């Protein structure tokens, strides 16, 4: 065989695993949407580039590869003709929802020799936190709890959230979430900042704790003088208002959040989950790869309370947080994720959060998803 010609481009990288993971990582559980959104009608989704059909089957939700093996028609267009099955709309091949086994080729009679010989791939599914979770991986799936922060399993809480599909690769979205500098500048105009004051810049370092990378603030600078330019401050016009998070003000911190003892405000972990811990609630956002150009953005805001306090938080979420934070604030992030164009890139000191995240991935070495649409015909 001919030796391969040398690549003229960039064939060397500091982070080869990360660079190859434009479709995300296999062997993780991913949240997709609210469980109550899945009914008897099939819902087509794309996860890590794989076409999947979600459908309710009693209390369970099933996930099948959304492709009839006969001629490749999406099963999500099919009919729910017999209990516990889906029939392909084209020639009526009928599959069991729980196993993916083709139990009848309706157009070839009851004793068709192909019956029970064909299967479509099924995916493990769980329902937690009101969300549907699907596992894309090889071998037996680990418990879904492995991929859910422990504090969300061990405590009572009130939760509000939203999910949507945004443009841009999931890695840009994850990097944006953990990116230190953008919070100080891009979000300078966010309405959320009416309630949350932000520093002008921080001195930070990244620490690794359990499975999390955490951005620790060693020094917080509320303003800075730039010779020839003037003062830069994030306090702006409302700086004299009695802000709940104002610097120097003694915090009363929710006991669950206090017990977590998180050394920094923002943390990230595989396969792409950001945690932003405020004194009274925690914001989580998952960057779930759809395909190379789209990311499913799942946001939860959690308050660890029961009873009246939980109900009050739910009202506050629906009346304000949903629009200010899960709306306008993170829409600013979505804007940058959509328009940015890297590499090439030139990094500066605050980008140590990005490089720590990439290094972490090289160390853990998860399995990058390969293009599932490439099929070998044997």
Place of tokens 């890139």: 345
91 touches ligand FES (CB under 6 A) = yes
Taking the least distance from each CB to ligand FES, the nearer of 78 and 264 is 78
Taking the complex as a whole, how short is the minimal distance between the CB of residue 69 and ligand FES, in angstroms?
Answer: 8
Give me the torsion for CA of 66, 68, 73, 77, rounded to 10°: -60
162 touches ligand FES (CB under 6 A) = no
Taking the least distance from each CB to ligand FES, the nearer of 94 and 169 is 94
206 in Cβ contact with 214 (< 8 Å): yes
Stretch that binds ligand FES, among 15-23, 88-96, 217-225, 285-293 (CB under 6 A): 88-96
Taking the complex as a whole, how short is the minimal distance between the CB of residue 85 and ligand FES, in angstroms?
Answer: 13
Cα–Cα distance for residue pair 313/202, rounded to 1 Å: 30
70 touches ligand FES (CB under 6 A) = yes
Place of tokens 């799936």: 141
Hey, which residues between 49 and 68 contact ligand FES (CB under 6 A)? 68
Taking the complex as a whole, how short is the minimal distance between the CB of residue 93 and ligand FES, in angstroms?
Answer: 4
Taking the least distance from each CB to ligand FES, the nearer of 119 and 294 is 119
Taking the least distance from each CB to ligand FES, the nearer of 71 and 306 is 71
Measured CA to CA in angstroms, residue 228 lies from 181, 199, 225, 232 at distances of 22, 21, 9, 12
Taking the complex as a whole, how short is the minimal distance between the CB of residue 104 and ligand FES, in angstroms?
Answer: 11
Give me the torsion for CA of 259, 264, 270, 273, rounded to 10°: 80
**260: which 2 tokens?**
């977590």
Hey, which residues between 107 and 136 contact ligand FES (CB under 6 A)? none
Taking the complex as a whole, how short is the minimal distance between the CB of residue 339 and ligand FES, in angstroms?
Answer: 40
93 touches ligand FES (CB under 6 A) = yes
How far does the chain reach from its first CA to its final CA, in angstroms?
A: 23
Taking the complex as a whole, how short is the minimal distance between the CB of residue 61 and ligand FES, in angstroms?
Answer: 22
Binding-site residue total for ligand FES (CB under 6 A)?
A: 8
Hey, which residues between 275 and 314 contact ligand FES (CB under 6 A)? none
DSSP codes, 103-121: EEEGGG-TT-TTTTT-B--
305 in Cβ contact with 313 (< 8 Å): yes
Taking the complex as a whole, how short is the minimal distance between the CB of residue 94 and ligand FES, in angstroms?
Answer: 9
Taking the least distance from each CB to ligand FES, the nearer of 308 and 377 is 377
Stretch that binds ligand FES, among 70-78, 192-200, 306-314, 351-359 (CB under 6 A): 70-78
Bond preceding residue 208 cis, omega within 30 of 0:
no
| Out of 17, 27, 34, 73, the residue judged to bind ligand FES by CB under 6 A | 73
Q: Which residues of 119-138 are buried (b: 16+ CB within 10 A; e: fewer)?
A: ebebbebbbbbebbbbbbbe
Q: How many CB atoms lie within 10 A of CB 318?
A: 11
Taking the complex as a whole, how short is the minimal distance between the CB of residue 90 and ligand FES, in angstroms?
Answer: 4
Sequence-distant (≥ 6) Cβ neighbours of residue 82 within 8 angstroms:
94
| Out of 22, 37, 46, 90, the residue judged to bind ligand FES by CB under 6 A | 90
Give which of 86, 82, 83, 56 is closest to 74, Cα–Cα.
86
88 touches ligand FES (CB under 6 A) = yes
**189: which 2 tokens?**
């105009």
| Out of 36, 44, 71, 247, the residue judged to bind ligand FES by CB under 6 A | 71
Residues that bind ligand FES (CB under 6 A): 68, 70-71, 73, 88, 90-91, 93
């Amino acid at each position: 065989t001919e030796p391969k010609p040398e690549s003229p481009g960039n064939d060397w990288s500091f982070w080869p695993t990360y660079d190859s993971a434009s479709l995300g990582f296999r062997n993780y559980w991913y949240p997709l949407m609210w469980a109550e959104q899945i009914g008897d009608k099939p819902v087509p989704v794309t996860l890590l580039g794989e076409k999947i059909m979600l459908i309710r089957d009693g209390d369970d939700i099933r996930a099948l590869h959304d492709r009839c093996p006969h001629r490749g028609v999406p099963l999500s267009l099919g009919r729910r003709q017999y209990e516990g099955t889906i029939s392909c709309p084209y020639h009526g091949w009928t599959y069991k929802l729980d196993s993916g086994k083709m139990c009848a080729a309706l157009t070839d009679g009851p004793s068709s020799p192909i019956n029970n010989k064909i299967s479509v791939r099924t995916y493990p599914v769980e329902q937690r936190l009101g969300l549907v979770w699907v596992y894309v991986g090889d071998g037996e799936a680990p418990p879904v709890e492995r991929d859910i922060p422990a504090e969300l399993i061990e405590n009572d809480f009130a939760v509000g959230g939203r999910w949507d599909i945004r443009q841009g690769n999931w890695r840009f979205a994850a990097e944006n979430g953990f990116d230190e500098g953008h919070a100080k500048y891009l979000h300078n105009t966010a309405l959320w900042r009416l309630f949350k004051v932000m520093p002008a810049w921080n001195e930070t370092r990244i620490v690794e704790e359990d499975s999390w990378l955490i951005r620790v603030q060693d020094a917080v600078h509320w303003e800075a003088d730039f010779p020839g330019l003037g003062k830069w401050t994030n306090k702006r016009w409302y700086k004299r208002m009695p802000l709940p998070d104002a610097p120097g003000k003694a915090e009363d911190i929710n006991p669950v959040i206090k017990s977590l003892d998180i050394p920094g405000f923002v943390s990230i972990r595989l396969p792409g989950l950001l945690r932003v811990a405020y004194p009274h609630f925690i914001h989580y956002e998952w960057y779930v790869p759809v395909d190379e150009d789209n990311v499913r953005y799942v946001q939860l805001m959690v308050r660890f309370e029961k009873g009246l306090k939980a109900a009050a938080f739910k009202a506050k979420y629906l009346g304000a947080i949903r629009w200010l934070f899960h709306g306008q604030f993170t829409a600013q992030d979505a804007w940058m994720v959509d328009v940015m164009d890297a590499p090439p890139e030139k990094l500066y000191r605050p980008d140590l959060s990005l490089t720590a995240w990439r290094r972490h991935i090289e160390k853990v070495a998860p399995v990058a998803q390969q293009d599932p649409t490439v099929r070998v015909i044997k």
